[in-house]
A = this chain, B = another copy of it.
Amino acid sequence: MKLAYILLGLIYMHPDLSGYEMKYIIEHSTGFFFKVHLSQIYPTLKHLTEKQWVTFEVIKQKGKPDMKLYTITETGKVELDACLTEPYHFEYNWENLNMYFSKLLLMGHLDTEDIIAYIDSGIKVITQITEEIRTGSFADIFQTKESFLSNIPPVEQKQYLTIWENEHRFICEEFERRLTLLETIKKELKD
């Protein structure tokens, strides 16, 4: 489960965190950039508690419901670190790429060499994919199959191609920029 590890990571960073605050942090930080529902966070925290990866303290409030402040346990920390240090196994989709960068956000507490090993696994895979896009195995469908659009009017074909070519170029450049980002972080961590 992805969310479980993100919550674990946040709880490590900031002990005594409530489920409500976790949602705010995930949604208001540029790094994560995804939506979570409280109705998904609460059962996940319950599950983490059952596994004894986290514990919580109940805080009574006036006029507001009780608040549960979560803290990571030793077992939880071991699990978190094990998940974070797994090298990057790439799949050709956004979700997987975003997950890689989300995990990077959560590993600031690890030894520098472990973070760099993780970054290196990312550099390796992204370099490989950039190559594959260029040499063809992941080439855009319009480049490999030019006849793909042959059954629709030429005016429409032209518009499709304009959009596809621009988006294709954007994605290729996106990979290169992600590589630069990783190299920059690596360099800064070394200092």
Give the interface of A toward B (CB within 8 A). Answer: 12-15, 25, 27-31, 33-35, 91-96, 98, 101, 104-105, 107-110, 112, 115, 133, 138-142, 144, 148-149, 151-153, 156-157, 159-164, 166-168, 170-173, 177, 181, 184-185, 188-189
Contacts and interface: CB of A to CB of B under 8 A. Distances in A.
The complex is assembled from copies of this chain, and their number is 2
Nearest to A31: B167
Contact of A167 (B34, B91, B173, B181): B181
Contact of A105 (B35, B93, B156, B164): B164
Contact of A133 (B30, B94, B151, B164): B30
B159 A108 contact: yes
Contacts of A27: 92-93
Given A93-B35, A159-B189, A162-B185, A30 B104 contact: no
- Residue with the greatest number of chain B CB neighbours at <10 A, chosen from A13, A14, A95, A141: A141
